[in-house]
Structure 1
């Protein structure tokens, strides 16, 4: 097979036809083929986005002859940024010192945010061979500023290899809170004995973003709740001056295997001083925990926190661990509401029906049938849907 058809197609700007020809070309004849490389680069420079994506899969098959032309494209300020981005993405498929050096240079130049993002993504794709070059960027004089340093740290984080731990540890006390946050986010994914003491020390960092990242990282180690005394360490963060930290603590505690978590969250939920967003996060956390004590807290809150009743119902309906128990308690609440002086709002009855349908307990069908007589069309619709869902499980 020769390239005459592909060359003719290129002369007429028929880039899809060029791609078809190159895709049919034998793999052993692609490698180190200068004529194929020329055609592929034409498609890269003149084709549309879809054609660029397709040719990007072919170019690496040509071997190292493609490296220098791609590097020249990436560094050429006179061509469209889209074409430079495409060349940068392809460089990520080359595990070669030249490609790594070119991509690092892009980060140092910080010329265009999207172009820099392509470079960092490509380096992350290269992986461990790029760690040494990225580590060199962590030196302040080499990084050229906090933005490049942040990019280098972020790229190391994406590689997720134990070789990145040591260079990242050198930056845990960097004066820039953004850098400290990125470092904590990166290190939090490693089960390394050096990381846990560091995380614990950062719970009191002056930066809210660092405290939040630390809470998230520590809660991923909920299996070590007793060993690390996580509940006591995280409890103050539920009352942090920064609401985002409080939200992270509420969500994270759902992962902590400690019986004291539910009473603590119940206290926060029941407090009149708790912001609404935090109450919503606590409700979700209790639903995720899904134990009988957690469900009891959610049911009890239904009689105390009317504005949050729909959210409470949703959380109960999504619990996984004690679905039968949850449905029984929800039905008990529904029946007791008949005796109340004020009827339940329609939105609450809708969520009761939906929750019972999700929990899968066929014994609750008679109660759902009562909702079929509700004067509100939406309540009847939700009840009918729940019954149909339960019936489909028979």
Structure 2
């Protein structure tokens, strides 16, 4: 059921196009309001919205007629029009709050209208708005409405923290659901005032809640948090361990003080593959040179799954140091089916472009390459990598590839030489 908003009393015919409206004796704001009224009488909500958007702030605020028009557009317009008028309604001020609260809490209203109003309430930093949104969460009558209410509370931010924290009450009827929603809101607010309520949930029985808490706490540099994150590296839930790894890998500044590399290294061999992958990629954020031999050990193990090896290769490419490049190039001599991947990683080097290009050329001209699986693919990737690295000294090596028996290798070599802006010989 849609709320029927009373039609305006004034019955004006639709004015001429906007370009002809302004005249010295007819101020544009007044004409816009008259035009909006006439457009509403004809159900032309896009025109109503355009007119209201053009009204100055002093004509919008505390104006019952404008409020009436805005609510009509909200409740009778289509989705696109609802989104447009939703940007205007908060400018009306507190006069709009009570009608919005009435709509939001009316279970007989169309859900789509309540969704639209729920989003708008996030722009009202008022106790009544916060209380209404909390009530929607507690009722949990519609998943989308609940989700919109959580987003609106997160938008309100710090003024909503106390009310959201109250959702953590373990005696509530829907306690587990409310805790999960509360964590989502607190995590999105991203303010230090959320640390205390989040800490209450660090040992929650629900692993998803523990995961969300760790993800939120990881963004704060509170001295209590790193030790708590370390304790979660042994959590029984893989998602929790993964979240702890990701959060700790963002604290390279504490790597030496907390001996983080030794604490994280066992996670590279975790029983859960996703934990291993997150650890490998996370360690790539650290400038510590001792990370490379740790990753090299994982890459060189015959017990390492291919997905983890791919993640380690990617991580070494991000590290982009000469030892990391050497580790990647050494992988090419192991007859691994992942042979093209180290080449791609080396070819994306930024800091060590010249070194990377020399290592690729050296491999291209070495006897090892003959034993490489998928030889043509490897040569193609080397040609592409050399083109990306931009070292003109590699052009002679690329020219040698122009005589390769494989058409695709010759094509990639020609493209690389062209990228290096060098003349291409036949």
Normalised to the residue count of structure 1, the TM-score between the two structures is 0.95
379-388 vs 160-169, greater mean Cα deviation: 379-388
**Residue 278 of structure 1, aligned match among 308, 328, 338:** 308
Q: Does 1:155 align with 2:185?
A: yes
Cα offset for 1:215? 0.1
Number of residue-to-residue matches in the alignment: 392
Q: Does 1:136 align with 2:162?
A: no
Q: Does 1:81 align with 2:111?
A: yes
2-structure distance, mates of 1:235, 1:168: 27
3-state SS of the aligned residue for 2:294? helix
291-300 vs 82-91, greater mean Cα deviation: 82-91
**Residue 165 of structure 1, aligned match among 195, 207, 210:** 195
2-structure distance, mates of 1:339, 1:232: 36
Q: Could you say which residue in structure 1 is the equivalent of 2:283?
A: 253
Q: Could you say which residue in structure 1 is the equivalent of 2:153?
A: 123
Cα offset for 1:279? 0.7
2-structure distance, mates of 1:241, 1:343: 30
Q: Could you say which residue in structure 2 is the equivalent of 1:309?
A: 339
Is the 1:136–1:142 contact (alpha carbons within 8 Å) kept by the matching residues of 2? Answer: no
**Residue 318 of structure 2, aligned match among 280, 284, 288:** 288
2-structure distance, mates of 1:71, 1:373: 75
2-structure distance, mates of 1:341, 1:285: 26
Per-residue deviation, residues 101-151 of structure 1 (Å, max 9, x unmatched): 111112112222222111111111111111111111112224723222111
3-state SS of the aligned residue for 1:228? coil
Structure with the greater alpha carbon radius of gyration: 2
Query: 1:341–1:239: structure 2 CA closer, same or farther, 3 Å change rule?
Result: closer
**Residue 7 of structure 1, aligned match among 21, 37, 42:** 37
Cα offset for 1:337? 4.7
1-structure distance, mates of 2:367, 2:142: 61
Per-residue deviation, residues 259-284 of structure 1 (Å, max 9, x unmatched): 22111111111111111111111110
**Residue 237 of structure 2, aligned match among 191, 207, 231:** 207
Query: 1:67–1:305: structure 2 CA closer, same or farther, 3 Å change rule?
Result: farther
Unaligned stretches of 5+ residues in structure 2: 1-29
Q: Does 1:382 align with 2:401?
A: no
Is the 1:100–1:133 contact (alpha carbons within 8 Å) kept by the matching residues of 2? Answer: yes
Alpha carbon RMSD of aligned pairs, Å? 1.8
Query: 1:325–1:60: structure 2 CA closer, same or farther, 3 Å change rule?
Result: same
**Residue 92 of structure 2, aligned match among 48, 51, 62:** 62
**Residue 359 of structure 1, aligned match among 389, 396, 407:** 389
Q: Could you say which residue in structure 2 is the equivalent of 1:40?
A: 70
311-320 vs 229-238, greater mean Cα deviation: 311-320
Normalised to the residue count of structure 2, the TM-score between the two structures is 0.88
Cα offset for 1:335? 1.0
3-state SS of the aligned residue for 2:70? helix
Query: 1:84–1:256: structure 2 CA closer, same or farther, 3 Å change rule?
Result: same
Cα offset for 1:341? 5.8
**Residue 226 of structure 2, aligned match among 193, 196, 217:** 196
2-structure distance, mates of 1:21, 1:100: 30
Query: 1:44–1:341: structure 2 CA closer, same or farther, 3 Å change rule?
Result: closer
Unaligned stretches of 5+ residues in structure 1: none
Query: 1:339–1:14: structure 2 CA closer, same or farther, 3 Å change rule?
Result: closer
Is the 1:6–1:22 contact (alpha carbons within 8 Å) kept by the matching residues of 2? Answer: yes
Q: Could you say which residue in structure 2 is the equivalent of 1:326?
A: 356
Q: Which has the higher helix share?
A: 1
Per-residue deviation, residues 21-42 of structure 1 (Å, max 9, x unmatched): 1122221010011111111111
1-structure distance, mates of 2:249, 2:180: 24
Q: Does 1:219 align with 2:266?
A: no
Is the 1:337–1:344 contact (alpha carbons within 8 Å) kept by the matching residues of 2? Answer: no
